[in-house]
Amino acid sequence: MRLTSPSFPVFIISVVLFALVVVARYLGIAIPVVSGNVFEILLVAYVVLLVGVLVRGA
C-alpha cells in the first residue's frame, strides 16, 4: 500500500473540523453540533484525513 498526500480540500476539511473542536472545547464557545460531540467530531476529522492519505485521488 502506498501512501499519498491528501488533496488540499480534504486537508482543509480536516483542519476546519479540528479547529471547531478546539474552539468548542478549550475556548468554551458553544457550537450547536460540535459542543456535545467533541470526541466524535475529532474522530471524523482524523478519519477524513486518513482517507485522504490512503485513497489515491481523494
Residue 46 CA: distances (Å) to CA of 13, 26, 42:
10, 19, 6
The pTM assigned to this predicted structure is 0.86
Give the total number of structural domains in the chain.
1
pLDDT in tens, 24-57: 999 989 999 988 899 999 999 999 999 999 988 7
Domain boundaries, position 31: 8-54
pLDDT digits over 3-31, tens only? 889 999 999 999 999 999 999 999 989 99
- The answer as to whether 18 is a domain residue is yes
| Any domain includes 1 | no
Give the model's pLDDT for residue 17.
95
Tally the C-alpha atoms within 13 A of residue 41's C-alpha that lie toward its C-beta.
20
Q: What is the pLDDT of residue 57?
A: 72
What pLDDT does residue 2 have?
84
What's phi and psi for 37, nearest 5 deg?
-130, 50
